[in-house]
Amino acid sequence: MESSSKGLLTQVNQLWNLLDDLAESNPESYKKFIQQQLKEGKQLCAAPEPQLCLQTRILKPKEKILFINLCQWKRIPVPQSTTHPIPLSVGRPEDMSETSDVYTVIDVAYNPDVLQAAEKDQVKKDQLIQMAMKCIEEQFQFTLSHFYHITKFKIKGSIQRMKQNLMRIQTDGTDLRENMRKELTLEQIRSSSVSNPDHFPQLLLPKDQVSDKKGCLIEEISSAEIQVDMERPAYELKIVADQNEKPLKMELKVELPGINSVSLCDLSVSQDDLLIEVSEKYRLHLNLPESVNTEMTTAKFIKEKATLIVTMPLVRKY
């Protein structure tokens, strides 16, 4: 088993090196390859959206009002079949207060198709809600009242808070890169992508890992964060305008001292925020001042300056 893992790792590293070589020897082909990956990964990079909010109570360890925001998120996979567990993602509990009232908010995300199907079937909707409650109980050692009511508002708290909470959920960067490398073939690399041999794009293709919990027909996507203190790198974010002073794009320059390979960088961009994590050393999360076109976003890494440059065209406003 160990020798098999080592052999796979060797093959993965060889493919990754080929990708780096392609960036130097055939930038145009490398650019095409990355653009294709960006197109396919766009859906997985979409941010979660609120679907409905329900109110119940935490009974133990301390009695408190609980709001559960059920959200739809394209990053969450659909069940493999009707007999397979339903994947979901659970954010961390957050305590909030309005005047003297203190309550807890927990965000839960399902695939949009799962929630849309449940909208047409009250029994299925109740099952999803009860499964979310059960998962919350198991994950946080809570005892909940399973009596609930759906509120008139779709979300408790701000949408931005919900997105930040759920999008903290990341699979380990190394595993992501290895999963991506395993899916690359030499033919793909040769027939494929950024425009200067000294610049290397980095694309994060999220592939959430799931853990199967016995006795619960739920696959829960891990919400554990890396327990390493990560430094916030120096950066510069500016909006570039055309000759008529009409904003065209945003350009982000991030200084990453000590980093010499693009393979250490994980980049995730949505329309309104950006996350960069680098080799468990640097972490930068930014809320973007304007909506950007994620499909046309590009990134390049300048080895000599250890600088990552992300170019994000703005969404056109008509």
* DSSP state letter for 157: S
- Are 240 and 164 in the same domain? no
Q: Which carries the bigger pLDDT value, residue 147 or residue 215? A: 147
User: Considering the chain, what percentage of its residues have pLDDT values greater than 90?
Assistant: 22
Of 146, 168, 190, which residue sits at a domain end?
168
Q: Which carries the bigger pLDDT value, residue 271 or residue 292? A: 292
Of 134, 168, 202, which residue sits at a domain end?
168
Residue 56 forms part of a structural domain: yes
Range of the domain at 78: 49-168
> Is the CB of residue 268 less than 8 Å from the CB of residue 43?
no
**How would you list the strands of the sheet with 265-269, edge to edge?**
265-269, 273-278, 282-287
Instruction: Report the pLDDT value the prediction gives residue 7, as an integer from 0 to 100.
Output: 64
Q: What is the mean pLDDT of residues 246-264?
A: 89
> Is the CB of residue 188 less than 8 Å from the CB of residue 32?
no
What 3-state DSSP class applies to 182?
A: helix
Residue 118 forms part of a structural domain: yes
- Are 163 and 61 in the same domain? yes
Residue 87 forms part of a structural domain: yes
What is the chain's mean pLDDT, rounded?
Answer: 76
Instruction: Report the pLDDT value the prediction gives residue 136, as an integer from 0 to 100.
Output: 92
Instruction: Report the pLDDT value the prediction gives residue 34, as an integer from 0 to 100.
Output: 74
- Are 57 and 145 in the same domain? yes
What are the tens digits of pLDDT across the range 101-125? 789 999 999 999 999 988 888 888 8
Banded pLDDT at 43 (limits 50, 70, 90): low
Q: What angle do CA 150, 74, 134 make, to 5 degrees?
A: 45
Residue 11 forms part of a structural domain: no
Banded pLDDT at 264 (limits 50, 70, 90): confident
Instruction: Report the pLDDT value the prediction gives residue 53, as an integer from 0 to 100.
Output: 94
- Are 59 and 161 in the same domain? yes
Q: What is the mean pLDDT of residues 305-317?
A: 89
* Predicted TM-score (pTM) of this structure: 0.46
Q: Which carries the bigger pLDDT value, residue 162 or residue 207? A: 162
Q: Which carries the bigger pLDDT value, residue 155 or residue 123? A: 155
Please report which helix (H) or strand (E) contains residue 107, including its range.
Answer: strand 101-110
What total number of domains does the chain contain?
A: 2
What are the tens digits of pLDDT across the range 117-148? 888 888 888 889 989 999 999 889 999 888 88
pLDDT of residue 228 exceeding 60: no
> Is the CB of residue 22 less than 8 Å from the CB of residue 187?
no
Cis peptide before 77 (omega within 30 of 0): no
Residue 266 forms part of a structural domain: yes
Exposed (0-12), middle (13-18) or buried (19+): which is 102, by Cβ within 10 Å? Answer: exposed
- The residues near 5 (Cβ < 8 Å, ≥ 6 apart) are none
DSSP-assigned letters across all residues of 228-280: S--B---EEEEEEE-TT--EEEEEEEEE-TT---GGGEEEEE-SSEEEEEETT
Residue 299 is part of a domain; what is its CATH number?
A: 2.60.40.790
pLDDT of residue 30 exceeding 80: no
pLDDT of residue 93 exceeding 90: yes
Cα-Cα end-to-end distance for the chain = 58
**How far apart (Å, rounded) are the C-alpha atoms in residues 208 and 228?**
20
Residue 192 forms part of a structural domain: no
| 3-state per-residue secondary structure call for 272-302 | CEEEEEECCCEEEEEECCCCECHHHCEEEEE
Residue 247 forms part of a structural domain: yes
- Are 162 and 243 in the same domain? no
What six digits make up the tokens of 245?
Answer: 């002073």
- Are 59 and 134 in the same domain? yes
Of 123, 139, 168, which residue sits at a domain end?
168
Residue 140 forms part of a structural domain: yes
What six digits make up the tokens of 8?
Answer: 């796979």
Please report which helix (H) or strand (E) contains residue 71, including its range.
Answer: strand 64-72
Out of 98-107, 118-127, 184-193, 241-250, which region has the weakest mean confidence (pLDDT)?
184-193
Q: Which amino acid is at 66?
A: L
Beta carbons within 10 angstroms of residue 12's beta carbon = 17
H runs (alpha helix) in the chain: 2-25, 27-41, 112-119, 122-140, 159-167, 173-183, 186-190
